[in-house]
Amino acid sequence: MASDDRALAFDCGTDRLYGILSLPQQACARGVLVVVGGPQYRAGSHRQFTLLARHLADDGAAVLRFDYRGMGDSEGEARDFEAVADDLRAAIDAFMNAVPGLREVVLWGLCDAASAIAMYAATDARVAGVVLLNPWVRSDDGMARATLKHYYRARLLDPAFWRKLLRGRFDVAASLRSMLGLARTALRGRARPAAGAAAPAAFPERMRSGMQSFRGPVLLIFSGADLVAREFCDLAGADPAWQRLLAASHVTRRQLDQADHTFSRRAWRDQVADWTGTWLRSW
């Protein structure tokens, strides 16, 4: 089955936003909105979003991928993932207006797009499900702990590291300075006093609160060779509320052990697309 790609323009406030619709040949009631993360536009790293959209449309789901305000071809001031709720709502409005018969949407996002989705999904009744890949929960101390725990452990188990060390091609002093700096950062985070009652919640807490309020199916996909994913898993593993949330029956978890943050190899991108399509057809 061949999908059909069409340009779509719509307004968010006073700005014009642009996206691409990938439409299946048959009418569908469920669509997928691909939310762009980081300083990217609607094609995604390694064209992942383009390829994913066409894969899902060939499988029978309408898909919209678009540029936030200030990114890609869209107008307006650039903003970060904590301030894109209006962009998401406008995109869903335009998506449902453009596809007759569409009744609900699934939000799909990688990195800080996953974080934006976690905070947004429960606020919009049209969102029926979410797919979150390598969610971003970055803090200086969290990344320091993830680097010490996962990166340095992997280096110590890598034969190439020991060969380099034995041949004198490794700067031991610089590496120790780096490790000590990371250790100090990690310890400072643990010693930080709790925020006062009047302080706004940090975005990882708002992500958790948002996902606790969301009742639809959730697909979580992690890259095994990604410190962003490891930082999220470490945070969730240390928090009973996150543990209960991720163990819930409506949450499905998948992991690609060798994959990097952006699924840079074709086999990894294809696996993500297959998991997404299978999950979409399962409910």
Give me the helices (H) in 99-226, please.
112-120, 140-146, 152-156, 159-166, 172-191, 203-213
- Euclidean distance between CA atoms 174 and 156, whole angstroms: 16
Tokens 């002093």 sit on residue? 173
- Beta strands (DSSP E) in the chain are 4-12, 15-23, 30-35, 62-66, 104-110, 127-133, 218-223, 251-256
- Euclidean distance between CA atoms 197 and 209, whole angstroms: 16
Q: How many CB atoms lie within 10 A of CB 107?
A: 27
Question: Residues 130, 48: one domain?
Answer: yes
pLDDT the model gives residue 191: 58
Residue 146 is part of which domain span? Answer: 141-186
Q: Does residue 55 belong to any structural domain of this protein?
A: yes
Helix (H) or strand (E) holding 266: helix 266-281
Per-residue pLDDT of the chain (283 residues), as tens digits, is 577 999 999 999 999 999 999 999 998 999 999 999 878 899 999 999 999 999 999 999 999 999 999 999 999 999 999 999 999 999 999 999 999 999 999 999 999 999 999 999 999 999 999 999 999 998 767 666 666 676 666 667 777 777 777 777 767 667 666 666 666 666 666 555 555 555 567 899 999 999 999 999 999 999 999 999 999 999 999 999 999 999 999 999 999 999 999 999 999 999 999 999 999 999 9
Number of domains in the chain: 2
Question: Residues 127, 157: one domain?
Answer: no
Q: Does residue 218 belong to any structural domain of this protein?
A: yes
Question: Residues 129, 164: one domain?
Answer: no
Shortest CA distance to 258 belongs to which of 222, 215, 213? 222
pLDDT the model gives residue 144: 67
The b-or-e profile of 158-172 (16+ CB within 10 A means b, else e) is eeeeeeeeeeeeeee
Q: Does residue 195 belong to any structural domain of this protein?
A: no
Give the CATH number for residue 12. Answer: 3.40.50.1820
